[in-house]
Amino acid sequence: MGRSRRRRRQLGVESSPEESAAAVGALTTEAEEGSGAAHAPPYVPGLSEWAADVEAPVLPLDGLEPWEVIAGPALALEEQGESPTPVAETVDPGQLELTPVPAVNPPVPGAPEARPANEPDVGVGEAAELVAAAPSEAAAPRALPEPDPVELLYSAARAAAEAGRTEDAKAIYRQLLASHPEQVRARNNLALLLDAGGDHPGALAELDRALDMDPENATLLVNRGALLGALGRFAAAERDLKRVLRVEPAQAEALFNLGVVMTKKGLWAEAVPHLRRVVELEPDRGVAYFYLGDALNHVDDLSGALASYQRAAELQPNNSRALYGLGIIYDRLGRPDDAAQMYRRSREIGRR
């Protein structure tokens, strides 16, 4: 029994049967730069985490919400239908106070209204002609500015992605970049789509081009760092993420991804402060609690690991790896019955 527990401790959560299913962008990972490791372990990035137990958002570059959560962005005007003609608010006639124009001489009761001697009678037809000839007092409507073609394409691409038409969104972003290659927003979002579709080298190439034009852009650096980590290029990922944190020490995405990179390098003690800071900044981020529990388990902080795994399972009830981690901690605490229950629940969720 003791050897069985020790083996589980050595394997850690990453060796669970569910790890490969939950890892994002699963590829044959490359060897770490500058290290003697033969292969990098699977990695769950913060760039585009589509696993069921992951909730980290992707990062947009336009200051708006990411396209993944924007509902119904505008496309072209003709696609949305004509806007209704504005109508002035109707005023209650009972509230109107009419002020008559005073007459020069008081009228005589029963007498026809007098007209000036020098003013001829005007017939109905002549009156209509006079009205038609009178200049209009209404101001001419102001012409609307021409829509920006770049923004129209960008909005169309986001709408296509939101609707699940990924290939259309990629094509529109490429069309935009063919005429406006300096648009780092479009290049970033194209990289996100490529990464989600498994084209990690293509995504990395787009982020590289964007950073050539905007080398200190924190969002681009975080996204590239996360992607490099997913590819097992931990040294390069660490450089990008630390560049961001030197300027923005409380950047949660950079902290999270750097913490995960440290766990994948086996630097558990170095991962702990980064992941602790993430859960302080984002206390409802379940995946951060999971990685924190993993790191604390490896530095033998069993009470801290237990609390972190429990919080991860509370926030993400279908996170089979968090339940498996709880099984490991219960095993280490000498609670085999509780451990067996957690392992069983983890297997059940993994089979769904």
Looking at residue 55, its pLDDT comes to 34
Question: pLDDT digit string (tens) for 261-310?
Answer: 999 999 999 999 999 999 999 999 999 999 999 999 999 999 999 999 99
State the pLDDT at residue 222: 97
pLDDT per 10-residue tile (average), the chain, 352 residues:
41 39 32 35 36 37 33 29 34 34 46 51 49 55 79 94 95 95 95 95 96 96 96 96 96 97 96 98 97 98 97 96 97 97 95 86
Render pLDDT for 160-182 as a digit per residue (tens, 0 to 9): 999 999 999 999 999 999 999 99
Judged by DSSP in three states, 30 sits in coil
DSSP 14: G
Q: In this predicted structure, what is the pLDDT of residue 172?
A: 95
With CA atoms as reference, report the closest residue to 250 among 225, 222, 278: 278
**CA-CA distance, 318 to 122, in Å (whole number)?**
86
Q: For residue 166, count other CB atoms closer than 10 A to its CB.
A: 14
Check: pTM over 0.85? Answer yes or no: no
- Local structure of 236: helix, strand or coil: helix
What residues contact residue 253 under an 8 Å CB cut-off, 6+ apart? Answer: 46, 56, 59, 222, 226
What is the fold, at CATH topology level, of the domain defined by 2-58+149-347? 1.25.40
Domain assignments of the chain as residue spans, ordered by start: 2-58+149-347
